[in-house]
Amino acid sequence: MTSSNGQKPQQPTLRVIPLGGLHEIGKNTCVFEYGDDLMLVDAGLAFPSDGMHGVNVVLPDTSYLRENQKRIRGMIVTHGHEDHIGGIPHHLKNFNIPVIYGPRLALSLLTGKMEEAGVMDRTVLQTIAPRDVVKVGQHFSVEFIRNTHSMADSFSLAITTPVGTVIFTGDFKFDHTPVDGETFDMARLAHHGEQGVLCLFSDSTNAEVPGFTPSERAVFPNLDRHIAQAEGRVIITTFASSIHRVAMILELALKNGRKVGLLGRSMLNVIAKSRELGYMRAPDELFVPIKQIRDLPDRETLLLMTGSQGEPLAALSRISRGEHPQVQVKPSDTIIFSASPIPGNTISVVNTVDRLMMLGAKVIYGKGEGIHVSGHGCQEDQKLMLALTRPRFFVPVHGEHRMLQCHSKTAQSMGVPADNILIIDNGDVVELTADSIRKGDPVKAGIELLDASRNGIVDARVLKERQQLAEDGVITLLAVISTDGVMAAPPRVNLRGVVTTADPRKLSLWAEREIGWVLENRWNQLCRHSGGKAPDVDWVGVQREVEVGLQRRLRRELQVEPLIICLVQPAPAGTPAYKGRADVEPDTRPAPRGRGGRDGGRDGGRGRDDRAPRFDRQADRAPAAAAIGAAPIHQRELAAIGAPAAVAAVAKPAPEAVAEPEPAGRTRRRRSAAAG
Ligand SMILES: [Zn+2]
Ligand SMILES: [Zn+2]
């Protein structure tokens, strides 16, 4: 058995390690460790942010779990939201989880995902009921405490360990009139509070919002009014996983004499599962297949669909773009957004609203309409949780940094000493003993990006290439080089999606110069004479060198950073050298622009400047450098640079030229994309 936690044996320590869900909303994944036991609580996914081209799913880095998989005793699921269960099917392909305990609805949704991923045989799913206590490994016993949230069948956890009891709230709000009548089991929270709670890990999503979160029931009369007043069809979008909301909408459709058509895979899936398990009671006759929906009068139609976040492929977004095969917007339609945008989705949501309005529909959206309430508790809910559990130590979780800070203030206002509160990041280790809390050495945390197949991992290099393609296009470059290091034909350059002021001739000339530079300065390293007649040339290395050189030049001269693909076609030794255009027509081209001598900032000092004289610093170049073709290369370059004034400008050794900042917008965009 491996034990990488390095804890002092004399002091038994509970280690709690969130691998996701901190400083973000999404991919909640938390590890509990004691001795040789490791238990997981939830394993969610997050959705990609702008710039993560072709990425469908963001998961936490699970190196730590893979390294310690022998110690994993089981997993606890609190509820069925994607940010809590979405990562499980993927993880099951990578490491062993012997058993997963969770509520019926969450496990039913999880089963669908696991079947799709073909991992049904990798674990055992155990359904729990309220107040059930399960034992995980030697050291954990976990009690499921019914709570209230936007999803039905949701739980908080009381985790009893050798150092004390930890309350892990999961996602919650205090809803005293829940749609399904299943109230928060506050008595159990109070019971543990009475017995003594070592530490509380609590949902921070709405820590910045004063007051109580209204009951889910509060949206009922407002939705009812809008549906009753609608002259034509009613189109409603919400999260499919907001089971209570969906149940209410179905109830309202029935009440208002409208039949329901469903659009969107997750909407169909969640409603089917929820009806099957009895979380929604709607008669079969209420539903009409979408193909038959146009046979109904508009006043008897309600369409319920995905797309509340403006997701480009979701039903409502496609309808707004006129791209849906079955549904087109009519001016008499009333379209209701019964959800609020997740931070980051705001722009796509307002764009969808705009497009729908431009098609003439009446669109009801936004906070003032009373058609959405959060599933997460606000400050007063959070205070009530603290009051009931009376924890000695406190760790705010499930939130962005400012929310964690705010939640910490709330806890302090309730008498928890600041020293007893930890604000942590993904990968940080909370070490708890019976009378102390501290931050241990962090474990590896980060993100893994999955593509549409949910199998392929989009690594940092692929993502960077996609960003380059999307933002600056691609340049392909074909070079013909003989095995004795001679450029045998002019390079052929092709541009796709590249916006540039430079004409293709100039680009081709630059390419020629980069190839020349590589042949002159790098050929000896890239070419091994193994004794035989033909030397052994590292063509991939040649390509790479040319790509890097041209990349730097384009960044410097044009402030663009397209993806560059260089292909070399080898020619036999002895092929005559192509006589470069640089020799032929030296003076017709304009001089390089003023920034020519400066170096793009991104590569810092790692570029070719460190290895050899720079191409355009003619003065520095040793005359003895290898000649290529008919003319020594430095002569050709000199001609190519053009006017003497420009030579002076670029040849000046320029210490100030080291870090030319990129346009701020681009730097910021890329960074945020990479950081997620
Ligand atoms: Zn949730
Ligand atoms: Zn959540």
**Ligand 1 centre distance from Cα of residue 150 (Å):** 7
Can you tell me the distance from the alpha carbon of 656 to that of 209, in angstroms, rounded to the nearest whole number? 49
Q: How far apart are CA 53 and CA 44, in angstroms?
A: 21
Q: Which amino acid is it at 351?
A: N
Contact indicator for 425, 28 with CB cutoff of 8 Å: no
For residue 580, the model assigns a pLDDT of 66
CA–CA distance from 394 to each of 105, 155, 399, 418, 440 (Å)? 30, 19, 15, 9, 16
Beta bridge partners of 437: 432
Distance 85 CA to ligand 1 centre (A): 10
Higher pLDDT, 502 or 70: 70
pLDDT tens digits for range 295-334: 999 999 999 999 999 888 899 999 999 999 999 999 999 9
- For residue 80, the ligand closest to its alpha carbon is 1
- CA pair distance 275, 280, nearest whole angstrom: 5
Rounded Cα–Cα distance for residues 267 and 264 (Å): 5
Whole-number Å distance, alpha carbon 546 to ligand 2 midpoint, is 48
- Measured in Å, residue 81 CA sits from the centre of ligand 2 at 6
Ligand 1 centre distance from Cα of residue 83 (Å): 7
**What DSSP assignment string belongs to 411-465?**
HHHTT--GGGB----TT-EEEEETTEEEEE------EEEEETTSSSB--HHHHHH
> What distance in angstroms lies between residue 152's CA and the mean position of ligand 1's atoms?
10
CA of 168 to the centre of ligand 2 (A): 13
Alpha-carbon span 440 to 7, nearest angstrom = 10
Q: Which ligand is nearest to the CA of 398?
A: 2
- In the reported structure, the alpha carbon of residue 151 is separated from the centroid of ligand 1 by a whole-number distance in angstroms of 7
Q: What is the mean pLDDT of the chain?
A: 83
- Report the separation in Å between the CA atom of 381 and the middle of ligand 1, taken as the mean of its atom positions: 15
d(CA 225, CA 624): 87
Query: How do residues 446-500 score in pLDDT, each as one tens digit?
Result: 888 877 666 667 777 777 888 888 888 888 889 899 888 888 888 888 888 887 7
Q: Which ligand is nearest to the CA of 84?
A: 2
Instruction: Check residue 669 and give its pLDDT.
Output: 36
Cα(258) to centroid(ligand 2), Å: 32
pLDDT at site 452: 65
Distance 203 CA to ligand 1 centre (A): 10
Percent of all residues in the chain with a pLDDT value above 90, rounded to a whole number: 60
- For residue 398, the CA-to-ligand 1 centroid distance in Å is 10
Beta-carbon neighbours within 5 Å of ion ligand 2: 83, 171
In this structure, what token pair is assigned to residue 418?
A: 């600041």
The 3 state secondary structure assigned to 657-672 is HCCECCCHHHHHHHHH
pLDDT at 644 over 90: no
CA distance 614 to 622: 11
How much is the pLDDT for 206? 96
Q: What is the pLDDT of residues 535-551, one digit of tens each?
A: 788 889 999 999 999 98
Comparing 185 with 629, which gets the higher pLDDT? 185
Ligand located closest to 46 CA: 2
| 23 CA to centre of ligand 1 in angstroms | 16
* Radius of gyration, CA atoms only, the chain: 31
What percent of the chain clears pLDDT 70, i.e. is strictly above it?
A: 83
CB contact set of 647 (below 8 Å; sequence gap of 6+)? 618, 638, 641
- CA nearest neighbour of 633 among 493, 499, 516, 541: 516
Burial 546-562 (b: 16+ CB within 10 A, else e): bbbbbbbbbbbbbebbb
Start-end of H helices in 522-568: 523-526, 539-558
What residues have CB less than 8 Å from 462, skipping those under 6 apart?
none
Q: How many angstroms separate the CA atoms of 15 and 32, rounded?
A: 6
Sign of CA dihedral 208, 214, 216, 222: negative
Average of per-residue pLDDT across 145-164? 97
